Structure 1
């Protein structure tokens, strides 16, 4: 059937999709895709179609497809977790509360030390001011790596630069932030 698809028979790929869609959907659900399972499966089938040129003749299609579904599910679940964490951090900064889970301070906890909240807010404002003072390309790499929680490869892809450029810009940006904050963060912490 894969050979028929490679020869341009669109209906042959539709048959492959029909034959494996239920299993692919079940796998996506079992691996944690939840409400995104249908999107995961659709993306996996698109990726599989595009990658058919590299599919080995004589190899089993189903395991190959399910590996793509598993990878797509893992990426989707990881991405959703990063988005939730980034949204929580952004909400905490916008609300002027400590980041949820920060040691010794619970976000929105009325029993939290008022002096500690003031100090944390001052530190956060110092950091944001220093971040705004960075050159745009340095600020971008810090934001993507630490505030959006992307890894180096993802940051490189988003910014359209090599991974080594991300590393060097990040190094320069962190040195500049340390300088702007007075080496120790400006508040003895």
Structure 2
């Protein structure tokens, strides 16, 4: 982890005090976590880089107002998730004319071009690890940001406390949401198995003949209903290893930084040091970390 105990906290404190080098190191170290949180939450959408950059701008602006430096990571993730929600909200509320020609942009035709495909390709996933990664495509859209955080928790990159804090939920409420998402993920794993079976169940083949190949709630329910009642497909539910263990073995997928302006981090660091420790710009979603609504 890039923030570890007193060393990480000391780096945050130094950055808050105006140390430009400390701030640049903090931002550099934050990029892998940010890209994985945003990338998974947005499923590799073309605006991931924009959301990451905007998150870093907001982090630099609000760092001076962070009351507890030890909570930097959960605060960082909360800011990132707020930016993801802002972006989707802005797209959903945009005038219809402005979205012409963008239909389906949240669906990715090339399975190797979305974040799941990138994970599978870069890490060479196979077997049940590949299945569980593919099953994440079948989650409801509202669970995608929760998945991105839970995935990082299983990989040891976030604690449950940090996950709950980034969602601004209690541990109990977080546990309930995670459990529901896991149940949906298990359904998705069975769907993936049934669709990829060779030979595939002929009844299932006929069922999905009108399907356009894009994962969605309607077809997840239809295929799941079939697998539960089909003598051939019901066997796909057996021998599923716990998703936690499988995801824990899937490391972080590092981003391609060539898409970022070379001087972005140093420029942000200079901007942050110029603002000084007293420049508190409140950010939404930080819960008890010292930030309010923007």
TM range (shorter): 0.3 to 0.5
TM-score, with length taken from structure 2: 0.28
TM-score, with length taken from structure 1: 0.43
**1 or 2, which has the higher helix percentage?**
1
Larger radius of gyration: 1
| Higher relative contact order (CA closer than 8 Å, sequence separation 6+) | 2
